[in-house]
Amino acid sequence: MPSLGADMESGKLVRWLVEPGSAVKKGDVIAVVETHKGAFDIDVFLEGVVSELCAKEGEELPVGALLARIAAKGEEVAALAKVAEPAPPPPAPAPPSPPVAPPTAEREAKAPGEAAPAPATVAAVPAAGRRKISPAARRRAKELGIDPETLAGTGIDGSVTFADVELAGAGRGTRETPPAGPAEPKRRAGFDPGQMRQAIAAAMSRSKREIPHYYIGSTIDMAKALGFLEAYNGERPPEQRILPAVLLLKATALALRDMPQFNGFWEDGRFRKADGIHIGWAIALRGGGLIAPAIRDTGDRPLADLMDALRDLVGRARGGGIRGSEMMEPTFTVTSMGDRGAESVFGVIYPPQVAILGFGRVIERPWVVDGKIVARPLVTASLAADHRASDGHGGSLFLAAVDRYLQEPEAL
């Protein structure tokens, strides 16, 4: 089960799209998995033959659980498709042990119409007398000094999840287990906006608590970029035109190539530079929620190809069909709130990434050019970065690089 984000603990295998003996290659979609963010296509990273399906459809599995076995090219499928030896039959049930406190003669002599004592409820208590809690949630609860037994679980069968612990640690206090009652109907589409919002809140709480953010902003003159865009689109039919977001993406990717300390991950106490530039574009989902799947090799794509990739990504994100690899690959995130009317946005870093860049709305304002005050289209770019991996000096140079590339749109 792949991890499709820092806030994911488990996923539900909805459907297999292959069977034992199916030949697969890198990029082939083999299954559909549901998480709190919706349904995702799971693709493979190697070439071979599916030798065994280890998980069943409808099964909820933790991150890292085995889904299938794939025999690499040249291997015997049979070697990996060994069927586990059947487990020995379970021993015959032991006779019930006598109760700790046997009833007295007076108790046995109660009138036939008198109600008998309620049976013990030991079966309703999980093994070892504790509530179900995921390993990640248990570790986090220990770090925060929270007793998980006091939390109301929102996971499978009422289990306590990482998100439950994060919310409790964020100052909302522990929650008592609600009284039994009719359960609210769950959405069948695999997308619950409330659950997604809870997971986002948990991930962002962790980010603000663990990552030493610093923020810097810059105002960028978009006159040359928009002028180039008008000329570019004027020569093409509507379906081949590009949006300003494409120029922002490409300029950001080229700036990351110049400043690689912002393109990577903070892992095991140190910065790890990413192998490629795969920018995650923040997409608001219909019905609520947010995801930021990656556009691979953002800096190497021509503008037209980048526009096609962005259009395809947004369409699949809102209609279903995002691949698991697209959720796992972002090395940096860009969020643009201009189409929502916001003049600026100060993002929260999505761990284990080390930075996020936000763009606001392009607004025509007074600007000094060659000593004269003129009206220019301006946009505010705001960088949030991890102080463990960089500092304000580097952040300022990064924003300056983004600005420089947007002043030379023909070179994008």
What is d(CA 49, CA 15) in angstroms, rounded to the nearest whole number?
Answer: 18
Q: Determine the pLDDT at residue 279.
A: 97
Position 27 in a domain = yes
Residue 333 sits in the same domain as residue 405:
yes
Residue 199 lies in a domain: yes
Per-residue pLDDT, 77: 47
Q: Measure the CA–CA gap between 210 and 132, rounded to whole angstroms.
A: 26
Q: Residue 84, exposed/middle/buried by CB under 10 A (0-12, 13-18, 19+)?
A: exposed
* Residue range of the domain that includes 27: 10-76
Domain at 259, CATH number: 3.30.559.10
Report if residue 3 sits inside a domain: no
In terms of phi and psi (left: phi > 0; alpha: psi -120 to 50; beta: otherwise), the region of 340 is alpha
Q: E strand or H helix at 14, and its extent?
A: strand 10-16
pLDDT given at position 45: 77
Residues 406 and 312 in one domain: yes
Phi, psi of 230 (to 5 degrees): -65, -45
Residues 313 and 386 occupy one common structural domain: yes
Residue that terminates a domain, selected from 51, 76, 101 = 76
Instruction: Establish if 332 belongs to a structural domain.
Output: yes
Q: Are residues 281 and 297 in the same domain?
A: yes
Q: In 153-171, which positions are buried (b, 16+ CB within 10 angstroms) versus exposed (e)?
A: bbbeeebbbbbbbbbbbbe
The answer to whether residue 270 is domain-embedded is yes
Block residue for tokens 């922002």: 248
pLDDT at position 338 is 81
What is the overall mean pLDDT for the chain? Answer: 80
Q: Which residues of the chain have pLDDT under 50?
A: 76-87, 98-129, 156, 172-189
Looking at this protein, which amino acid is placed at residue 99?
P
Residue 155 lies in a domain: yes
pLDDT the model gives residue 406? 98
Same domain, 202 and 246: no
Say if CB 36 and CB 319 are below 8 A apart. no
Phi, psi (deg, nearest 5) at residue 128? 65, 10
Give domain status of residue 83, yes or no: no
How many domains are contained in the chain?
A: 3
Q: Is 125 left (phi over 0), alpha (psi -120 to 50) or beta?
A: beta
Same domain, 172 and 227: no
At residue 194, the pLDDT reads 74
Residue 199 sits in the same domain as residue 347: no
Residues 276 and 392 in one domain: yes
CB 80 within 8 A of CB 71: yes
pLDDT at 184: 38
Q: What is the pLDDT of residues 256-306, one digit of tens each?
A: 999 999 999 999 999 999 999 999 999 988 767 788 999 999 999 999 999
Same-domain check for residues 270 and 393: yes
In a domain, 104, yes or no: no
**Closest C-alpha to 255, from 404, 128, 387:** 404
Residues 363 and 279 in one domain: yes
- Do 396 and 252 fall into the same domain? yes
CATH code, 50: 2.40.50.100
Kindly state whether residues 60 and 137 are assigned to the same domain: no
